[in-house]
């Protein structure tokens, strides 16, 4: 019989469907491999094809927008939101709107077109996390921004428009709804229990073991109890901390090591799947230190979202997290 499960943070229910049970071989997998592209604007040597860089790491000597870098951050050429202007909040009868003020940047994770987060070495992945931190610290100074989201679309099925490995940062003038629900849910748990709900999850998953995929001294990878999607994986720092950008350097190193490990396991078990990677951190303007706990979510794109999910926000997952965790534990590379 199928099971309805409730996420302890957001209160969102999901259906773990045994009737429609799917194992890795049952998915219509689209293997992601960066197709060669002589005109890729993100390749080393093509710096003139992008907007001027905001940050570069690893370059010695030569000036900005020249080769020699190991990581570059640039403004998005087609930004969703712009830094220039004023919010100009206004009503339109019943409706409310404001100008699209924000920031939209792209982190080019490697100078080489064929690299992915799964093939980059640990130091290079750590550098990516460090660049995220640097950019968030800088963007936070703009008092108009209430939330800064870091995410990655890997593969066309996950929404990537370019094959070259990159992530995006968007600074928003509002706290979006999913974030609001998660932060409020964590706050509710804290008010009742005086404990962080993510710390509670870590403790229970560590003792239980069925949904634990891998871990190191600082970070644990778990299949969440009520996942929306097959093989959804959370990477949780073991030490309580609400903001990603305030983590100590050694936690980025530990996260980089575990992240590369998990992505290689997914590549092996799910044949190089498209995925979204999301960094969940507290809103920049809120004192969520006691009750929110930053973490990383990886969502392999293995199924299509259909009418039922759009209508209800209620997800149908054909793979239990216990089975997904077992598959990924066994897929050690």
Tell me the closest approach of the beta carbon of residue 44 to its own copies, in angstroms: 25
The reply to whether 249 sits near its own copies by the rule CB under 8 A is: no
Q: Between 13 and 190, whose beta carbon lies closer to its own copies? A: 13
Task: Evaluate whether 71 touches 91 at the Cβ level (below 8 Å).
Answer: no
Give the C-alpha separation, 45 to 70, whole Å: 12
Q: Which of residues 26-55 bind its own copies (CB under 8 A)?
A: none
The reply to whether 231 sits near its own copies by the rule CB under 8 A is: no
Q: Which of residues 254-293 bind its own copies (CB under 8 A)?
A: 276-278, 280
Question: Binding its own copies by CB under 8 A: which of 27, 69, 132, 225?
Answer: 225
Tell me the closest approach of the beta carbon of residue 256 to its own copies, in angstroms: 19
Q: Between 70 and 297, whose beta carbon lies closer to its own copies? A: 297
Q: Which of residues 50-89 bind its own copies (CB under 8 A)?
A: 78-82, 85
H or E element: which one contains 203?
Answer: helix 197-208
Question: Binding its own copies by CB under 8 A: which of 170, 171, 255, 282?
Answer: 170
Please state the φ and ψ torsions of residue 228, each to the nearest 5 degrees: -75, -35
Give the C-alpha separation, 101 to 10, whole Å: 28
Site stretch for its own copies (CB under 8 A), options 30-38, 40-48, 235-243, 312-320? 312-320
CA distances to 159, 184, 224, 265, 277 from 214, in Å: 28, 29, 13, 10, 17
Task: Evaluate whether 12 touches 313 at the Cβ level (below 8 Å).
Answer: yes
The reply to whether 236 sits near its own copies by the rule CB under 8 A is: no
Site stretch for its own copies (CB under 8 A), options 30-38, 90-98, 129-137, 261-269? 90-98
Q: 183-212 mask for its own copies (x: CB under 8 A)?
A: --------------x--xx--x---x----
Give the C-alpha separation, 179 to 150, whole Å: 13
Structure tokens at 209: 């073991």
Task: Evaluate whether 154 touches 164 at the Cβ level (below 8 Å).
Answer: no
Tell me the closest approach of the beta carbon of residue 232 to its own copies, in angstroms: 10
Tell me the closest approach of the beta carbon of residue 156 to its own copies, in angstroms: 8
CA angle 277, 140, 259 (to 5 degrees): 25
Q: Between 39 and 192, whose beta carbon lies closer to its own copies? A: 192
The reply to whether 314 sits near its own copies by the rule CB under 8 A is: yes
Tell me the closest approach of the beta carbon of residue 245 to its own copies, in angstroms: 16
Whose tokens are 């130091």? That residue is 123
Task: Evaluate whether 35 touches 163 at the Cβ level (below 8 Å).
Answer: yes
The reply to whether 221 sits near its own copies by the rule CB under 8 A is: no
Give the C-alpha separation, 49 to 35, whole Å: 19
Question: Binding its own copies by CB under 8 A: which of 43, 47, 251, 297?
Answer: 297
Question: Binding its own copies by CB under 8 A: which of 67, 176, 248, 287?
Answer: 176
Give the C-alpha separation, 321 to 13, whole Å: 14
The reply to whether 13 sits near its own copies by the rule CB under 8 A is: yes
Closest by Cα among 270, 260, 295 to 165: 260
Task: Evaluate whether 151 touches 183 at the Cβ level (below 8 Å).
Answer: no
Q: Between 66 and 326, whose beta carbon lies closer to its own copies? A: 326
The reply to whether 97 sits near its own copies by the rule CB under 8 A is: yes
Tell me the closest approach of the beta carbon of residue 265 to its own copies, in angstroms: 20
The reply to whether 22 sits near its own copies by the rule CB under 8 A is: no
Please give the sequence-ordered ranges of beta strands (E in DSSP) within 184-274, or none if there are none.
Answer: 212-215, 219-222, 233-237
Whose tokens are 């090591």? That residue is 257
The reply to whether 178 sits near its own copies by the rule CB under 8 A is: yes
């Amino acid at each position: 019989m199928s099971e309805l499960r409730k996420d302890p943070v957001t209160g969102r229910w999901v259906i773990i469907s045994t009737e429609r049970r799917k194992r890795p071989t049952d998915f219509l997998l689209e293997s992601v491999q960066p197709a060669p592209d002589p005109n890729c604007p993100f390749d080393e040597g093509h710096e003139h094809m992008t907007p001027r860089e905001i940050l570069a790491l690893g370059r010695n000597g030569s000036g900005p927008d020249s080769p020699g870098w190991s990581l570059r951050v640039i403004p998005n050429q087609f930004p969703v939101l712009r830094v220039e202007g004023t919010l100009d909040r206004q009503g339109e009868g019943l409706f409310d709107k404001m100008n699209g003020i924000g920031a939209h940047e792209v982190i080019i994770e490697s100078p080489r077109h064929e690299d992915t987060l799964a093939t980059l070495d640990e130091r290079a992945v750590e550098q990516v996390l460090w660049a995220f931190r640097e950019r968030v610290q800088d963007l936070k100074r703009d008092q108009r921004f209430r939330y800064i989201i870091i995410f990655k679309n890997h593969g066309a099925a996950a929404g990537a428009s370019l094959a070259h490995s990159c992530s995006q940062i968007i600074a928003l003038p509002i706290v979006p709804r999913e974030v609001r629900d998660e932060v409020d849910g964590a706050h509710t748990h804290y008010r009742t229990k005086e404990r962080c709900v993510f710390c509670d999850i870590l403790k229970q998953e560590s003792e239980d073991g069925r949904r634990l995929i891998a871990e190191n001294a600082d970070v644990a990878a778990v299949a969440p109890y009520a996942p929306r999607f097959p093989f959804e994986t959370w990477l949780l720092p073991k030490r309580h901390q609400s903001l990603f950008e305030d983590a100590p350097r050694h936690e980025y190193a530990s996260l980089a090591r575990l992240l590369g490990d998990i992505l290689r396991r997914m590549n092996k078990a799910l044949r190089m799947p498209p995925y979204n990677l999301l960094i969940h951190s507290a809103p920049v303007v809120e004192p969520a230190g006691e009750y929110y706990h930053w973490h990383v979510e990886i969502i392999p794109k293995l199924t299509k979202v259909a009418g039922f999910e759009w209508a209800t926000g209620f997800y149908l997952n054909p793979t239990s997290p216990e089975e997904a965790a077992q598959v990924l534990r066994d897929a050690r590379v």
